[in-house]
Structure 1
Amino acid sequence: MNSERRFREDEIMANNGAGRRFFGSILLAASLGVSPSLSLAFDESPVGARPAALGGAFTGLADDVHSLYYNPAGLGTLYRPEVTAYYARLYPGLSDQTHTAQTFIGAALPLPADRRWGGLGIGYQEFRVDSLFKERTTTLAYGKSLMEKRMSLGVGLKMLDRSYGENADTANAFSGANPGNRTGAQDPVFLNGHSKTALGVDLGALYTILPDIRLGLSLLNANRPDLGLVSDDRLPMITRLGAVYDKKLLKVTADLTHRTFLTGQADTRLQLGGERLWAFKRYGMLAVRGGAGVGGRDYRQVNVGAGYEVNGVVLDYVFTLPLGAADETGNLHNISLSYKFGRAPAEDELYEMMREEREATARAEAALKTAEAESAFIRAERNKLLNQYATDVERLKAELAAAKKAGAKPAAAVPVPTRVLSAAERERLARDKAYREYSAAYEAAMRGYGAQVSRGESLAGRIELLNGILGKYSKTGVDVSRAARELERVKSDLAQVSTDYRITLDFYKKTVAQGGDVTERISLLERMIKRYSRSGIDLSEVKNELAKLKNP
């Protein structure tokens, strides 16, 4: 039987020429009852121009509608409805000119807008080789955030359908007894039909371990659905472990993917990606992306891409350069077109991009009061010493005058204090002691500042603390360069927060221009005030706008 199947493939290729080599591989795989060793929809083809540009490393990121395909847990983190359409022409360099394409249409919906019930996604994906072969996937998925949004879990149900086209090769089978001859009968592989349908299950999880670092895990085809026409042909379970470093407008992602095929062959891949965003006040947002991947079965490729978003419309592009076994199949140029409903983009999305700042005004004020008390104590001690030295000097002068008037010499011990404890030297000693006291107080204040920072002091609170320290000690002769450098660094960070605030305010104005309702606008303004009220940023424009909405 195996020799007959091998002969069938050879005859297909010989009699139909290069134009049927691609389908010959698929047909042979079907007759053997195993998956074609091609990058099919059920196997490994990236979906979406943005994830593809990141090298396919999207498991830990999973922050848009493509979570439906990579990690359903990401649906629980979305802030607004999204729809997307993706088209990819695969293997354009095939010599037989076979038209191979992949299509994906998806939608995601938070339930409701505040996500307290999670997020729902639905998608349709199709892989097609002319009219010869087709794989279709219809997916319904759900994700939900837990643990104050630090964790998200998701599950997806997929209806998988694989179908083979009908032609002379399937309707007129080759003879095993007389190789090269056809029997005139239908190929026995297709006696029960040319298609098979099965149900697949995907599982996913996301967990934020640090404000800027998130881990992701997904198990795709967890139940290993069977799509064999004759014998067992179970899809391999794909295990994807991902991580993302998300620093506001910069993202770095990594995925490790593993699967074991029915034949026992294992395939492990490492995929890396990066994304840099630039937000423009009136002209939307620009993204530049890059990625790469290496792995088993001579998988090697490099990806570059870009994206542009304005008023909710998102256009993404990716260029893929195969470097491994598929390098002769041609370079890929693919695009996605998406639309994000509601405010553009959501103010909450920016909050997720920016590191959470905890307010600590009371602690900052307490630290400043402590520093002031320390400074007042040092001043009092210094004045006390100076007064004591002045009294001693006057006493010595009086003793010298009395001795001269009496015609007697001062006691032998008298000249010694004159050399050691002169007024000038006593003042110098007082200054030295005061300097040491100020230095000790300055170091104590800096240690207090460090403790406040370790407990999560806000940027505004840090600036207030540092200004207080510099104001108290900069004129005492103490070296305050460390506090001055720290102040410049914190001011730079606050300037970045101010930039984020301006971007958020601009997005609010776009929401108004798009006709956002009053309730939504009030909620947005109140959250902006709550978020930035302790940062030192001028919120008068936001407060005036809120007052107008509440008191029209």
Structure 2
Amino acid sequence: MRRAAPVLAFILLAGVPARGENVGTTAAPVLQIPMGARASGMGTAFTGLASDINALYYNPAGLSVMPWREAAFMFLKGIDDQSIQHFALGGPIPFSGLIGEGYTSMGGSILIASHGDIEINRLNPDGTLGSSESREAGSDLVATLGYSERVATFEVPIRRDTIRLEHTMGVNGKYIRSTLAESYRATAFAGDLGYLIRAPDQGFGIGAAILNMGPKMTFIEEGDPLPLTYRAGVSWRPRLPETMTLPARQELTLVGDAVYLARERAWRGMVGAEWAALRQFAVRLGYRLNDEVAGFTVGFGAGISSLSVDYAWNMTDALSNTHRFAFTWRFGRVPDRDREKRRKPFIESMPEREDLKGIEEKKPDLIDQPQRPRREVPENRRGAPGWIY
């Protein structure tokens, strides 16, 4: 617990970035557009849950929670011609981890955003229209690569029960490229850091993340900072009465997030819930607090075998109505017995002095074995010096 506490405290004491609506404060506002239809349907309160590939956006530590590999595609339709396509792929990998606790996962995503078209008019000296052309208003590309592993496991006795706490940690690296009016381009690199504590038997989780840490983006001369964001969230899956769980295997998940926008120095809040039956159908509801796009969000999900389809709608005013569609394919489930294989840390410590002394004093077995005497070769059979036979 001592090893995990400093990292968690560092994340919790930080604050979260500005929203994309204030484009004069931060660069690359696309980094603050929520990804994933499932998370969006729950008001984007996903930091303490982070149980699918969209953990790359909310909390990279959640990649270790996925027991299978996932490939997901999301399409977002905004106002006018604005649209976003987001593809993500990730899952468990056969590596025991840097610390040696297992449950390692990797994931990557590509985000492509288009912000519609603008018309550029050029005037003649006399004020008449000289020429007119249509250009793309702007576009963004964000490539993300993430890694997560379990860093510790503790059992905490409470009364007559024992709670098993699993600690996971994750990091992301991002490449960001933005274009304005097909003429001005800027690139930047950023990083994310996430931490997640889960009590699987009790259905409880708490997470924290710092997102979009990196230098400024400069288009011409002056640069704008990236939207530094700090998130903290909780999730709880309460035990339902047997009358609800037996007929249709129903599950209820409650989530809540607090977000601090570092550049705007403003707080945001999100709460949400998900009701699922047979692990094939889901209904989601969320609410965003103290936000420029505050209001209710709703979502639905349906799955058949390893395929699922999710939809989310942000029910705010007409200017910020957004519809998200996501398609997910889950494959290659990895059993827990394979993921929890432990070994010594990746960087193994040196042997103790007593062990080194024993190794130095030990003699090779070849020296202890008696050597056979060499047979003398008759002088008339010896070859000439320098010849190879």
Q: Distance in 2 between matches of 1:333 and 1:57?
A: 17
Q: Which amino acid aligns with 1:125?
A: L
Q: Of residues 305, 308, 324 in structure 2, which corresponds to 1:314?
A: 308
**Cα offset for 1:224?**
4.7
CA distance in 2, matches of 1:209, 1:333: 33
User: What letter matches 1:251 in structure 2?
Assistant: T
Q: 1:305 aligns with which of 296, 299, 305?
A: 299
| Structure 1 match to 2:189 | 199
Structure 1 stretches of 5 or more lacking a match?
A: 1-24, 92-97, 167-192, 349-552
Q: 1:251 aligns with which of 250, 253, 260?
A: 253
Contact 1:77 1:145 in 2 (8 A): no
Paired position in structure 1 for 2:176:
160
In the alignment, the residues of structure 2 paired with residue 100 and residue 123 of structure 1 have an alpha-carbon distance, to the nearest angstrom, of 20
Moved over 6 A (4+): none
Structure 1's 247 and 310: CA in aligned 2 closer, same or farther, altered over 3 A? farther
Q: Which residue of 1 aligns with 2:329?
A: 339
Residue-by-residue CA offset, 1:36-92 (whole Å, 9 max, x unaligned): 7xx9312x211010010010001110000001111110112211110000001112x
| 2:273 pairs with 1:274 | yes
Contact 2:86 2:112 in 1 (8 A): yes
- AA aligned to 2:288 is G
- Size of the alignment, in residue pairs? 272
Shift of the alpha carbon at 1:268?
Answer: 1.4
Once the two structures are superposed, what CA deviation does each residue of 1:250-309 show, in whole Å capped at 9, x if it has no partner? 210001011122xxx323110011111111xxxx6111111110124x331211111112
**Structure 1 pair 56/229, CA: closer, same or farther in 2 (3 Å)?**
farther
Q: Is the 8 A contact 2:259 2:269 kept in 1?
A: yes
Bigger fraction of residues in strand? 2
1:64 has 2:52 as partner? yes
**Segment drifting more, 143-152 vs 108-117:** 108-117
Match of 2:138 in 1: 133
Cα distance, 1:334 vs structure 2: 1.9
Is the alpha carbon distance of 1:227 and 1:67 closer, same or farther for their aligned partners in structure 2, counting shifts above 3 Å? Answer: farther
Deviation of the 1:347 alpha carbon: 7.6
What residue number does 2:151 align with? 146
One-letter amino acid matched to 1:155: V
Please tell me whether the aligned partners of residues 208 and 230 of structure 2 are also in contact (alpha carbons under 8 angstroms).
Answer: yes
Asked whether the equivalents of residues 124 and 137 of structure 1 are also in contact (C-alpha less than 8 Å), the reply is yes
- Normalising by structure 2, we get a TM-score of 0.64
How far did 1:112 drift? Answer: 2.5
Q: Distance in 2 between matches of 1:147 and 1:271?
A: 29
Question: What residue in structure 1 maps to residue 365 of structure 2?
Answer: none
1:79–1:113: 8 Å Cα contact kept in structure 2?
no
| Structure 1 residue 208: Cα displacement | 2.4
* Identity fraction in percent: 25
Aligned to 1:122: 108
Q: Quick check: 1:54 aligned with 2:53?
A: no
Which structure is richer in relative contact order (CA contacts within 8 A, separation 6 or more)? 2
In structure 2, the CA distance between the partners of 1:57 and 1:330, relative to structure 1 (3 Å rule), is closer
Change in CA separation of 1:113 and 1:78 when aligned onto 2, cut-off 3 Å: farther
What pairs up with 1:182-221 in 2 under 5 angstroms? 194-208=184-198, 211-221=202-212
Unpaired runs of 5+ residues, structure 2, are 1-19, 117-135, 154-164, 240-250, 337-389
Question: Kindly tell me: are residues 137 and 126 of structure 1, through their superposed partners in 2, closer, same or farther at Cα, counting changes over 3 Å?
Answer: same
Aligned mates of 1:201, 1:74 — CA distance in 2 = 16
- Per the alignment, do residues 227 and 158 of structure 1 end up closer, same or farther by CA in structure 2, a change over 3 Å counting? farther
Instruction: Provide the C-alpha distance between the structure 1 equivalents of 2:139 and 2:327, rounded to a whole number of angstroms.
Output: 23
Give the superposed CA RMSD: 2.7
Contact 1:237 1:259 in 2 (8 A): yes
Q: How far 1:113 moved relative to its partner?
A: 9.2
Shift of 1:205: 0.3
Q: Deviations over 1:370-429 (max 9, x none)?
A: xxxxxxxxxxxxxxxxxxxxxxxxxxxxxxxxxxxxxxxxxxxxxxxxxxxxxxxxxxxx
Q: Which amino acid aligns with 1:229?
A: I
CA shift for structure 1 position 333: 2.5
**Residues 88, 334 of structure 1: 8 Å contact kept:** yes
Structure with larger Rg = 1
